[in-house]
Structure 1
Amino acid sequence: MEAVVNLYQEMMKHADPRIQNYPLMGSPLLMTSILLSYVYFVLSLGPRLMANRKPFQLRGFMVVYNFSLVALSLYIVYEFLMSGWLSTYTWRCDPVDFSNSPEALRMVRVAWLFLFSKFIELMDTVIFILRKKDGQVTFLHVFHHSVLPWSWWWGVKIAPGGMGSFHAMINSSVHVVMYLYYGLSALGPVAQPYLWWKKHMTAIQLVQFVLVSLHVSQYYFVPACDYQYPVIIHLIWVYGTVFFALFSNFWYQAYTKGKRLPRVLQQNGAPGTARVKAN
């Protein structure tokens, strides 16, 4: 326990003071409590509460929810671009700018907003539970929605910006497309003619993981790479590589072998064949 306390104190020494007063960022206790409550609800309390109840339809809510996340994700991408990626960043080994310049503070804000959006996305699983789609609450889904936001909190707390923010910008770009698809799917049969691009969803996500892994790989091969926090680079690289392998297997099973994947991989609001949502 002493070692854990010492590690916590050491990490908090590196906390960026510019983000101290943002919601959820003062201490890891609140966000950890939220994530633990989420896990308890989706794995235990929620299914028990719904056991003797009819599933909620939630179609109208899902339409609003998904299209709201389209707008939020699009705004996050725009802010990342305007906070450095289209101006002072080189797209190589960009260090975190810890100054109080307008651009650096804008990057802090969008890094926090990206993190906050992940707490909003916990509603994905709540929708599953309320619709009694418990089979869709897979280990991969719950792991992604709980453990990754927890680790992202530390990244934003310590290093909001620099080359470590590239994966957040790309992830938000993919979420624009994903939640657009899910929002259209939630509209029902009227939108089905416009969903011909469904099979390209997996390809888009594979491209995401390739781009993220290649970008952070510069840290290992560029001699002058002066990004300040190697552990963040290592975690991003592992994340991109592992999920590329998982999605490659999905692609192979679904489109190369032609096997129908289990419905438990479906995402909110989308009928028909299965898909994975784990980014």
Structure 2
Amino acid sequence: MEVPFFPILFSSVRNSVVNQPFFPTLEEWLVKHPKIHEFSWNNGKTLGSTPRFLALTVLAYIAFTFLLSQVLKPSLARPVLKSISALHNIFLVTLSFIMALGCLVSIFSQVPNFKTLVCFPMRTPPAGPLFFWGYIFYLSKIIEFMDTLLIILGNSMNRLSFLHVYHHSMVVVMSYVCVDSAQSSFSMVLVINCSVHVVMYTYYFMCTLGVRPKWKKMVTDCQLLQFWASFLVMAMLVFYHFTGSGCSGILSWCFNAAFIVSLLFLFSDFHAKNYPSGPKVKPKYA
């Protein structure tokens, strides 16, 4: 039993892309490279793969955020801070683009049909190109802790909200769980999230250059849109799980579904407060 429309769309787009002259080159670099193609997530052997590492990393982030913001209150000279921020943002724009592209090329190269994309077979091992990009995605979420440090160093404490800290800490957990459990459909969520982050960090990079783009609201709109897109993907995963022989990582899906619901609620509340339908107000969070 198939979900109508999406399998046909996927097949059509996939066939169109793989027949393009540039695809073999991208595939050679982003899928068939030995480090990518032969990747395997081994709990306890792969860097950052243990639950202990995950717990200590998240707890350290929360502890240092509290200490630096409430006790130490460090600061940097504005020119130095702007330079570091610019490098950080352009690095994450580049990394997010590469992850999105790498995962997308891996999908078109390795995934035979839409059902497999949404619903990995049961007992799928976390190995190969898709999980390599999932692993890089997980590590990138740790790098994004730098966002918080830059906020504190710039004394922009109005931006250090519960939403910010909760999002940064829990998304690391979500990313870890996705790879460790070989969760179905995570590659689609990765592509969506990284695409949104290209837009978001481009906005932040332009701000460090002294340019204030007029499309700030679009950044939050894109974040909300990605949550709704994730819900659609998750709904299809559930459909395939209960109408077929089951999908890999269904238990971790339950955790991630609850997390995305909480993010949708928090971001919707943020959107309503900062972009009311009445007179325009200056956003409080960047």
TM tier, smaller: 0.7 to 0.9
The structure 2 residue matched to 1:94, chosen from 119, 140, 156, is 119
The structure 2 residue matched to 1:145, chosen from 168, 175, 180, is 168
Q: Could you list the per-position Cα deviations for residues 136-187 of structure 1 after superposition, in whole angstroms to 9, with x for gaps in the alignment?
A: 222221111112312321221221x631332122111110110001001110
In the TM superposition, residue 261 of structure 1 has moved relative to its aligned partner by 6.2
Provide closer, same or farther for how the CA distance between residues 85 and 56 of structure 1 changes in structure 2, counting only shifts above 3 A.
farther
For residue 55 of structure 2, what is the aligned residue in structure 1?
32
Q: Could you list the per-position Cα deviations for residues 182-213 of structure 1 after superposition, in whole angstroms to 9, with x for gaps in the alignment?
A: 0011101xx33xx1222222221221111110
Whole-angstrom CA distance in 2 between matches of 1:85 and 1:249: 37
Q: Could you list the per-position Cα deviations for residues 92-118 of structure 1 after superposition, in whole angstroms to 9, with x for gaps in the alignment?
A: 433058469xxx511121110000000
For residue 281 of structure 2, what is the aligned residue in structure 1?
260
Q: In structure 2, what residue type is equivalent to 1:256? A: S
Provide closer, same or farther for how the CA distance between residues 80 and 123 of structure 1 changes in structure 2, counting only shifts above 3 A.
same
Whole-angstrom CA distance in 2 between matches of 1:152 and 1:54: 31
Whole-angstrom CA distance in 1 between matches of 2:65 and 2:265: 26
Provide closer, same or farther for how the CA distance between residues 18 and 111 of structure 1 changes in structure 2, counting only shifts above 3 A.
same
Provide closer, same or farther for how the CA distance between residues 198 and 18 of structure 1 changes in structure 2, counting only shifts above 3 A.
same
Q: In structure 2, what residue type is equivalent to 1:158? A: S
Provide the secondary structure at the position in 1 that maps to 2:175: helix
Q: Does 1:120 align with 2:140?
A: no
Whole-angstrom CA distance in 2 between matches of 1:148 and 1:259: 31
Q: Does 1:216 align with 2:237?
A: no
Whole-angstrom CA distance in 2 between matches of 1:40 and 1:226: 40
Q: Contact 1:219–1:233 at 8 Å: present in 2 too? A: no
Whole-angstrom CA distance in 2 between matches of 1:45 and 1:251: 27
TM (norm. structure 1) is: 0.76
Whole-angstrom CA distance in 2 between matches of 1:140 and 1:33: 21
Q: Could you list the per-position Cα deviations for residues 38-77 of structure 1 after superposition, in whole angstroms to 9, with x for gaps in the alignment?
A: 1111112454222xx6544200111111011000000000
The structure 2 residue matched to 1:134, chosen from 157, 161, 168, is 157
Whole-angstrom CA distance in 2 between matches of 1:62 and 1:99: 38
Q: Does 1:238 align with 2:251?
A: no
Q: Contact 2:93–2:202 at 8 Å: present in 1 too? A: yes
Q: In structure 1, what residue type is equivalent to 2:178? A: G
Provide the secondary structure at the position in 2 that maps to 1:18: coil
Provide closer, same or farther for how the CA distance between residues 98 and 221 of structure 1 changes in structure 2, counting only shifts above 3 A.
closer
- Give 1:59-98 correspondences, 5 Å limit: 59-85=82-108, 88=111, 90-92=113-115, 93-95=118-120, 98=124
Q: CA RMSD in A?
A: 2.5
For residue 6 of structure 1, what is the aligned residue in structure 2?
none
The structure 2 residue matched to 1:247, chosen from 251, 264, 267, is 267
For residue 18 of structure 1, what is the aligned residue in structure 2?
40
For residue 168 of structure 1, what is the aligned residue in structure 2?
190
Provide closer, same or farther for how the CA distance between residues 211 and 54 of structure 1 changes in structure 2, counting only shifts above 3 A.
closer
Task: Identify unmatched segments of 5+ residues in structure 1.
Answer: 1-16, 267-279
Whole-angstrom CA distance in 2 between matches of 1:54 and 1:69: 23
Whole-angstrom CA distance in 2 between matches of 1:199 and 1:45: 29
Q: In structure 2, what residue type is equivalent to 1:206? A: L
